[in-house]
Every structure is written in structure tokens, then in C-alpha cells.
């Protein structure tokens, strides 16, 4: 007998709820009032007021554009490289064996070490591109490779039997099978890209970047600026993450239709 009960709406884990945001804002406000040390902790209202001042300056938007272009560029470059390298590794297992120690080394080395080493080779202006690329590449590569290796073998054998072309195999077998693995990797990689990219800017201090604004806020003990720019990073990272995941959802929908 068929179950006719309709399934309820799917709940995504980790979805941000307004009441939860308001709760933590109240906790933040209470902590700021209890501490009563503006140098150490400012209230949410002070941060919003300072941010409202910053958004009216041209340098604010230039800093966002500078950091966004480099961090997003590093992510997209690592995504493309991760997909291509995973495809080669799946096609040529020896190539995958050759890359395995390199990927392990990249995952194991602390981001601060990469930043300091990279400053020897590059100017600080493009430092965040390289750091984001290195931090994100192993995640996307490993998950994409795992997705390719876990493709349904019976479907691949059937496609080979009926002499399905390479493009049709990619469209109807590989992409639908691999996309969930890539999507899961992207969720983790998107957050890491902004954390590592901003850390690179704070250490390298490129002119006109969000990292430079954070560094100056620390030097001059401008706690409202520090919190305001941190809030900017969270918001821009959130928007970028939603944009990329939305594009992946649209791609997944088009493949299933």
C-alpha cells in the first residue's frame, strides 16, 4: 500500500533563524553593558552607528571591492583547478598518487606559514588570491575526486555498452553524481576562503583592503571600527556563499529536469 502522506518542507541544517540572531545580539549587548569597557567590547548599537558612518565613504566600498575581487577570484580559481585535477586523477591513477602527498602537505601546513612564505615571493596586493587558492584547493579536489570515484559503475558500463558520447556521459552521469560532493565541499570551502583571505590581508596589509582597515583599527585601538569591519566580512562572506550555493542549486535543478 502506498503512503499518501505528503512530506513536509525540507529543513536545511544550520539555517539562520531571526530569533537566534536576536538572542545573541542581546547577549552581546548585556556583555558590553556588564563589562563597561568600550576599549574591549562595544555594543551592537555602537557598531551599527560606526558602520553607518563608514558606508558613506568611498574608501569603504573600494576596500570591499578590493578584497572581494581577490578572495572570490582565489576561490573560483581553486574550484576550476580542483575539478580539473580531480578529473585527471580519476582518469590517471598514477597522477592522483603523485598529487596525494602535495594535497596532504597543503592541508597540514598552517595558513600563517603559507602567508609568511608567500610574502617572500609575492607583493601583498595579490597575496590573498594565492592563500585562498591553497587553502580551498585540497577541499574541493578531494571531494570532487571522491564523487567521481563513487559514480554508479552500472550506469557507466551501460553508457559504454550503448556507446554514449563523452559529453552525454558528463551531462547525464558524472555531473549529477559528482555535484552533491562538490556542493558539500563548497559549503566548507567558502567559509575558509574568507577567513584565510582576510588573515592574509591582515598580515600582508595591502593598501586599500579590508585587512588593512582591520590592522589600522587594532593599531589605533579603534574597537568600533574593528567590530564594524568584522561585521562587514561576515555579511560579504554570507552573500558570496549564498550566491555560489544558489548557482550550484540551479545547476543541480537543471540537471535533474
Is the pLDDT at 26 greater than 60? The verdict is yes
* C-beta neighbour count of 194 within 10 angstroms: 24
- Asked if the structure places residue 47 within a domain, the reply is no
- pLDDT average, residue stretch 230-241: 93
- Asked if the structure places residue 230 within a domain, the reply is yes
Number of domains in the chain: 1
- pLDDT average, residue stretch 68-85: 95
**Distance between CA atoms of residues 223 and 217, nearest Å:** 7
- For residues 137 and 150, the model is more confident at 137
Is the pLDDT at 201 greater than 70? The verdict is yes
Is the pLDDT at 158 greater than 70? The verdict is no
Q: Are 128 and 200 in contact (CB under 8 A)?
A: yes
The reported pTM is 0.85
- Domain residues for the domain of 168 are 70-256
Kindly report, residue by residue over 111-139, the tens digit of the pLDDT.
888 899 888 888 888 899 999 999 999 99
Q: What is the DSSP letter of 151?
A: S
CATH code assigned at 77: 1.10.3720.10
**Distance between CA atoms of residues 38 and 226, nearest Å:** 12
- Asked if the structure places residue 123 within a domain, the reply is yes
Q: What is the DSSP letter of 209?
A: S
Is the pLDDT at 3 greater than 50? The verdict is no
- Asked if the structure places residue 28 within a domain, the reply is no
Query: Would you state the pLDDT for residue 11?
Result: 47
**Distance between CA atoms of residues 4 and 241, nearest Å:** 36
Amino acid at each position: 500500500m502506498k503512503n499518501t502522506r505528503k512530506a513536509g518542507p525540507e529543513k536545511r541544517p544550520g539555517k539562520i533563524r531571526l530569533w537566534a540572531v536576536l538572542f545573541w545580539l542581546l547577549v552581546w549587548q548585556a556583555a558590553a553593558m556588564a563589562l563597561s569597557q568600550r576599549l574591549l567590547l562595544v555594543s551592537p548599537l555602537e557598531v551599527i552607528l560606526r558602520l553607518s558612518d563608514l558606508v558613506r565613504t568611498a574608501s569603504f566600498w573600494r576596500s570591499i571591492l578590493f578584497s572581494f575581487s581577490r578572495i572570490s577570484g582565489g576561490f573560483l580559481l581553486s574550484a576550476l583547478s580542483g575539478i580539473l585535477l580531480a578529473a585527471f586523477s580519476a582518469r590517471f591513477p598514477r597522477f592522483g598518487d603523485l598529487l596525494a602527498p602535495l594535497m596532504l602537505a597543503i592541508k597540514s601546513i598552517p595558513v600563517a606559514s603559507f602567508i609568511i612564505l608567500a610574502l617572500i615571493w609575492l607583493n601583498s596586493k595579490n597575496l590573498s588570491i594565492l592563500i585562498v587558492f591553497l587553502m580551498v584547493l585540497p577541499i574541493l579536489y578531494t571531494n570532487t575526486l571522491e564523487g567521481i570515484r563513487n559514480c554508479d559503475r552500472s550506469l557507466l558500463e551501460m553508457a559504454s555498452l550503448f556507446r554514449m558520447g563523452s559529453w552525454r556521459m558528463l551531462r547525464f552521469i558524472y555531473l549529477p553524481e559528482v555535484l552533491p560532493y562538490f556542493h558539500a565541499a563548497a559549503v566548507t570551502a567558502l567559509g575558509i576562503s574568507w577567513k584565510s583571505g582576510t588573515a592574509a590581508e591582515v598580515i600582508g596589509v595591502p593598501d586599500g583592503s579590508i585587512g588593512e582597515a582591520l590592522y589600522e583599527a587594532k593599531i589605533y585601538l579603534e574597537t568600533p571600527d574593528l567590530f564594524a569591519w568584522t561585521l562587514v566580512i561576515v555579511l560579504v562572506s554570507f552573500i558570496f556563499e549564498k550566491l555560489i550555493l544558489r548557482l550550484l542549486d540551479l545547476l543541480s535543478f537543471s540537471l535533474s529536469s
